[in-house]
Structure 1
Amino acid sequence: MLVFCWLSCIKMQGQDIEIRGNVSLSGGTTDIYNVLALRADSSIYKGSVCMEKQFLFSLELDSIESFRISSLGYSPVDFGKKQLEDRMKNNIVDLGNVCLSADLTLDEVVVTGVRKRIEISPTGYSVDIKNSYLSDLGHFADVISRIPGISVAPRGKIEVIGKQNPLFVLNGRQLHSPDELQRLDPKNIKTIYVDYSPGPEYDTSYDAVVRIETNDKNQEYYSGSFYNQFEYGRKASNYMQAVVDAKSGNVSYSLDMQYNHSNFEQYDTESKSVWRGEDIVSAERTGSLQGPTNNVVVAPTMQWNINDRNKLEAIYRMEHSYNDSRQIQQFTEDVLGEKKAADTRLSDEIKRTAHNPSLFYTYKTGEHSLRISADYYRMNTKNMQEAKEMYNDGQINTNLQDFNDKYEIFGGAVDYFASLKGWGISAGGKVSAISDNGYYLTNEIDASSSKLNDNTYALYAGLSKSFADFSLSTALRAEFNTVNYRNSAYSEPVEADFFNLFPSLSAIYRKDKLSLSNYRNSAYSEPVEADFFNLFPSLSAIYRKDKLSLSLSYNRKIKRPTFSQLNPNQRYMDPVSYIAGNPLLRSQISDNISFQFSHSNFVFITYFKHLNNPFVGISELTEDNKIWYKDVNIPHMKELDLMAVYSFQRNWFKSNFTFLTRFYDIKYDGEVYSRFCNTPMFQGRIVLDLDLWKGASLYLKGIKYWNMRVTTTEMRDAGYVSAELGQSFLNNRLRLTVGGMDLFKTYDSNT
């Protein structure tokens, strides 16, 4: 992988100057202070920490907008570019004696020598990007892959270790896809928060939240960056991105443009068997899959800072992708003792176009914050699939499938936060309306359509209070959800009633309503209709003393089935297998208890989860002797996680470790598939960053899985090692990186 990284702040190089002066703090003493040269967007162009009274600083004057001298607990002194030019003689700027006055608004100052890069929160931790070496990296992917507890898979998917459905939030805005974060320049990122127990303001389907906050830019500026990444892994792929940012007056503009052309080629093998009484269907196959993918993204944004308290932000994102894959398989099947061999050819063409306009309004004072948002997302998908089976006895079968899908979601939210006399108050409401319409044509004869309407209305309120070293918080979220699903293929309805009563954790703060639903099988023309009203409580207690922090929390989460999990239309896999949804799939409810211990840069988390009606993937033999892959609900499942995170930095050597152990207790249909006493799943992740010489660094990452549960009954081992060597040029404006992901091809044997 060869990466040509960002070239930012597009201005011609100017004259080199020398800035000198003397610094004293009020009271006549000299202490540690910072000398910073700032760009027009308030990002740091160059900086130094000084301990002597005198300082000497060299830089390019045309590359900066201001010069700042600051120290913790004192008001900073700023010099504008014009002031520096006025004082300059023979390329030397003498600032004379600069006295910093005490900042009377700072009640308590604790100097620990080195700023901590990781701060512990009651339900997770945060990483300081702005004041660490991470801000000098070339691309967002380089930053996020170094965050403890987060893993980036070889194909680029961002994962939170131990969590299945994380949410990514940028400056308070919830993202439909973490791909939107790729536009961020690391120099503009302030902090990244990892929250393992999201608050009531987030949808209860998310089990983790990653929040990214960027720097405020107070001055007018313009900047541009270009990023190019070339990869070769059996096939060549290339990713390009250009970002233009500007600010004029109170309005900021940004335009993000991306183009990705990727080629892939993978080889796989598979053996499978499914029983029904004495009947057995088994199959073995070897195959290859290859094809190109093209993806284009255009995303303009505008932010209007109306005044110090009010801000309005408008965002639009358009994405178009095209994938054309070809799969060749050598297939052997044994259906009830009858053996056949076949070569299959499968072509799969997918086109997707998505539009996502959003509008956000924020009002913020010292004690109050109000946020109002409106979001619309639409994606059109067209998928054409052709499968040709050529048996050794001369038989030829052809299967044609044409899918068209239109997915739309509208969301609106109001969130209010306040801090009043030591009490933290939060309240808000959200509404979302999902519409998914699909049309399916098989072999140009059989046609059917499906429609899903899923509306959710939510209200929440929270309260928190601190008492010396202790703090308590509680919140309650109420959701009313209506689901209507219909399929046109058949005509006879099937009805079933489900009655669930969720027990209360505490009568003080929660009593759940009944959850009553009336399902109709979506393989019929009568709709599946269900109404739910659930209460989702949360409660946490935190103790903090110096570097020690202890927290105990409880919350309830829900995971609703997706359209594809409900949709019964069959999708071809191979001559004996297909995948189809299960219209009787119910929402999964989980009760979660977590305990967190942290000290300095070490975090240990114990997480217990009890799932009601969890989704599990199974294979079933149908009446026509085909293998049907689908999701079903099982009554209960329990998980116990033990996770440790440690981060440290020693001059040229930086590293962090994340280790996760997961125990399962799974029972289904009278069978015991796992108990807590059985061998657990284990995942380990190690990241090493080594400074080599000026501007050069070596990045190493290793991940290993043992007993990773793929399905209810299948487990496997996996892992990979990645390495990158980077070198910066032109005062960190240009960075070149060469490296490889999954160097030994151990992450997935079928790639």
Structure 2
Amino acid sequence: MTFRGTTHSIPVETQTSMHRIEHNPTIYFTHKGGNSSLGLFADYYTASSRSKQHSIENQYNTVSQDFKDRYDVIGIKVDYSQVLQFLTYAVGAKATYIKDLGTYLTGLGDNTNSQRESSSFATYLNLSKSIGQFFFATGLRYERERAKSFKSLDDMSDMTYNHLFPYFAISYSGGVNGSLSYSRRIYRPTYNQLIAKSVYIDPLSHSIGNPLLKSNLVDIVSASIQKGIFSGSISYEHSLNKKVQIAILEEETQTPKVRFTYDNIPHVHSLTAYAMCNYGVGRLRGNSALMLSSSHMTYLGKTYSTFKDIGLYIKTTLEVPLWKGASTMISASYRNAQYQDFYYLKPSFNTSLYFTQNLLQGRLKINLIAEDIFKTSRVNNWIQTMQQARIEMNTDADSRFIGISIRYTFGRSKDKAQSKSSIQEEIKRL
């Protein structure tokens, strides 16, 4: 570990444990008529988790943390669609309530409990129409969200958001298939990014959430084309308040430390070009993909990436059937050195092998996985440079992995998985 030109060796031994209990009862009703369909969905999700962390620095300095968290999510949604002679329309509405209560039993320094409540309402209207070989679709979604965060009685935030999400697309089907679309999307912060929970990383760094973190709104314009075995697309994205992890140097204490937290970047512009080819020779099937990406990002007056910094990603997958229900696959990918937010990612190469066996009409699936068989993956090698801190990560850990998974799908579970949960998006944030 290097700090201000001085190198220190601080051996650290850390033990962590996580215990989680969750329940998700769901009620849903669907009805399909001749030209219409109706769906009603109601969910309740509750989960409690407890995470413990015990670290020993230099064989004598002990750091312990015990944190308990509880989530409650309630949601209801209704969707209705109808096919008319001149167009097809769909309307719907959704309401959700979320409560997150975090409690420190023991912690790092003067920690306080954290609580967050969020209630939201959304409604939408979609219209679509086919004319010859052309298909047109447009829609608008309105969303209102109120979020309250508490770190203590004297430290509270109460914010209300109103968002509109327009959508438009036109596509053509013929000898050459093509499409052009525009949409606005939202990427909400997870609750670990919002909750003021301090997590020990090493003797000179820790991480903590930001209750004032805003959702990321993204406007996307994309065009795609497909002919035969080839397909490609190009897209432009403008991110408003993009969520990123930042590093801040804390110099108030006797030993300066780096605090990792989250913040919003006002504007980020991104370009992406993608091309893929599917092919087959005899029993061999494969596909190869190429992606080029670049972005322009400025934070606190400093430019971290420009459109001249081009990222390259290549992946090839080959699959061969062995016998009934069984196949084997090899996958190889390469990523060049490239910028990603504040991180400069070093080059990485990965080769993996997979074996799949389906039994009992596809209900039983057995998978064997051998990942990074040549130990060439460097996904955790990067440099983060900010105005007050520069952090370099060089990981030489053994990234090779061999695993087996067995999965059986019951009939009722399969039917439930096909239902449209009213809180699916919210659970992904937990």
* TM-score normalized with structure 1 length: 0.47
The alpha-carbon deviation at position 486 of structure 1 amounts to 0.4
**Which one of the candidate residues 682, 688, 706 is aligned to 2:318?**
688
Contact 2:304–2:341 (Cα < 8 Å) also in 1: no
**Fraction of identical pairs, as percent:** 30
**Which one of the candidate residues 77, 84, 87 is aligned to 1:420?**
84
Cα 1:484–1:661 shift into 2, 3 Å:
same
- Alignment of 1:454 with 2:118, yes or no, is yes
**Which one of the candidate residues 218, 229, 234 is aligned to 1:606?**
234
Cα 1:565–1:368 shift into 2, 3 Å:
same
The alpha-carbon deviation at position 671 of structure 1 amounts to 1.6
Map of 1:386 onto structure 2: 54
**Which SS does the other structure have where 1:654 is aligned?**
strand
CA displacement 1:97-118 (0-9 Å, x = unmatched) = xxxxxxxxxxxxxxxxxxxxxx
The alpha-carbon deviation at position 684 of structure 1 amounts to 2.0
The alpha-carbon deviation at position 621 of structure 1 amounts to 0.5
Question: Within 2, Cα distance between the matches of 1:559 and 1:697?
Answer: 36
Contact 2:86–2:129 (Cα < 8 Å) also in 1: yes
Question: Within 1, Cα distance between the matches of 2:357 and 2:75?
Answer: 44
**Which one of the candidate residues 363, 377, 380 is aligned to 2:31?**
363
**Which one of the candidate residues 127, 131, 145 is aligned to 1:481?**
145
Q: What are the residue-to-residue correspondences of 1:118-137 with 2, within 5 Å?
A: none
Mind listing any 5+ residue stretches in structure 2 that lack a counterpart?
379-395, 400-430
Amino acid at match of 2:306: R
Question: Within 2, Cα distance between the matches of 1:445 and 1:626?
Answer: 14
Amino acid at match of 2:374: F
**Which SS does the other structure have where 2:247 is aligned?**
strand
Contact 1:441–1:447 (Cα < 8 Å) also in 2: no
Question: Within 2, Cα distance between the matches of 1:641 and 1:708?
Answer: 14
Q: What are the residue-to-residue correspondences of 1:173-188 with 2, within 5 Å?
A: none
Cα 1:738–1:430 shift into 2, 3 Å:
closer
Cα 1:724–1:389 shift into 2, 3 Å:
closer
- Alignment of 1:707 with 2:375, yes or no, is no
Q: What are the residue-to-residue correspondences of 1:290-689 with 2, within 5 Å?
A: 334=3, 340-390=8-58, 396-442=60-106, 446=110, 448-488=112-152, 525-545=154-174, 547-622=175-250, 623-624=252-253, 625-678=256-309, 680-689=310-319
Contact 1:557–1:589 (Cα < 8 Å) also in 2: yes
The alpha-carbon deviation at position 694 of structure 1 amounts to 7.2
Cα 1:683–1:398 shift into 2, 3 Å:
same
Question: Within 1, Cα distance between the matches of 2:158 and 2:360?
Answer: 62
Map of 1:743 onto structure 2: 373
Question: Within 2, Cα distance between the matches of 1:735 and 1:428?
Answer: 36
Question: Within 2, Cα distance between the matches of 1:549 and 1:731?
Answer: 34
**Which SS does the other structure have where 1:640 is aligned?**
strand
The alpha-carbon deviation at position 650 of structure 1 amounts to 4.4
Amino acid at match of 1:743: I
Question: Within 2, Cα distance between the matches of 1:597 and 1:712?
Answer: 33
Contact 1:683–1:705 (Cα < 8 Å) also in 2: yes
Cα 1:462–1:400 shift into 2, 3 Å:
same
The alpha-carbon deviation at position 720 of structure 1 amounts to 1.5
Q: What are the residue-to-residue correspondences of 1:149-160 with 2, within 5 Å?
A: none
Amino acid at match of 1:483: A
The alpha-carbon deviation at position 350 of structure 1 amounts to 0.9
CA displacement 1:255-304 (0-9 Å, x = unmatched) = xxxxxxxxxxxxxxxxxxxxxxxxxxxxx2xxxxxxxxxxxxxxxxxxxx
- Matched residue pairs, number? 378
**Which SS does the other structure have where 1:614 is aligned?**
strand
CA displacement 1:22-74 (0-9 Å, x = unmatched) = xxxxxxxxxxxxxxxxxxxxxxxxxxxxxxxxxxxxxxxxxxxxxxxxxxxxx
Map of 1:207 onto structure 2: none
Cα 1:466–1:728 shift into 2, 3 Å:
closer
Question: Within 2, Cα distance between the matches of 1:454 and 1:731?
Answer: 43
Question: Within 2, Cα distance between the matches of 1:683 and 1:539?
Answer: 29
**Which SS does the other structure have where 1:531 is aligned?**
strand
Question: Within 1, Cα distance between the matches of 2:359 and 2:93?
Answer: 49
Amino acid at match of 1:609: E
Cα 1:466–1:442 shift into 2, 3 Å:
same
CA displacement 1:596-650 (0-9 Å, x = unmatched) = 1112343211111001111122211012211011111122111111112332344
**Which SS does the other structure have where 1:714 is aligned?**
strand
Cα 1:596–1:627 shift into 2, 3 Å:
same
Question: Within 2, Cα distance between the matches of 1:649 and 1:730?
Answer: 28
CA displacement 1:94-144 (0-9 Å, x = unmatched) = xxxxxxxxxxxxxxxxxxxxxxxxxxxxxxxxxxxxxxxxxxxxxxxxxxx
Question: Within 1, Cα distance between the matches of 2:358 and 2:6?
Answer: 64
Cα 1:442–1:368 shift into 2, 3 Å:
same
Cα 1:442–1:542 shift into 2, 3 Å:
same
Q: What are the residue-to-residue correspondences of 1:16-35 with 2, within 5 Å?
A: none
* TM-score normalized with structure 2 length: 0.81
Cα 1:579–1:367 shift into 2, 3 Å:
same
Contact 1:710–1:716 (Cα < 8 Å) also in 2: no
Map of 1:324 onto structure 2: none
Amino acid at match of 2:198: Q
Question: Within 1, Cα distance between the matches of 2:216 and 2:364?
Answer: 48
Question: Within 2, Cα distance between the matches of 1:563 and 1:735?
Answer: 33
Cα 1:739–1:621 shift into 2, 3 Å:
closer
**Which SS does the other structure have where 1:565 is aligned?**
helix
RMSD, aligned α-carbons: 2.7
Q: What are the residue-to-residue correspondences of 1:33-52 with 2, within 5 Å?
A: none
Question: Within 1, Cα distance between the matches of 2:215 and 2:285?
Answer: 43
The alpha-carbon deviation at position 697 of structure 1 amounts to 4.1
The alpha-carbon deviation at position 727 of structure 1 amounts to 7.4
Cα 1:354–1:719 shift into 2, 3 Å:
farther
Contact 2:297–2:341 (Cα < 8 Å) also in 1: no
The alpha-carbon deviation at position 739 of structure 1 amounts to 5.5
**Which SS does the other structure have where 1:564 is aligned?**
helix
**Which SS does the other structure have where 2:192 is aligned?**
helix
Query: Which one has a bigger Cα radius of gyration?
Result: 1
Cα 1:733–1:531 shift into 2, 3 Å:
closer
**Which SS does the other structure have where 2:193 is aligned?**
helix
Amino acid at match of 1:747: S
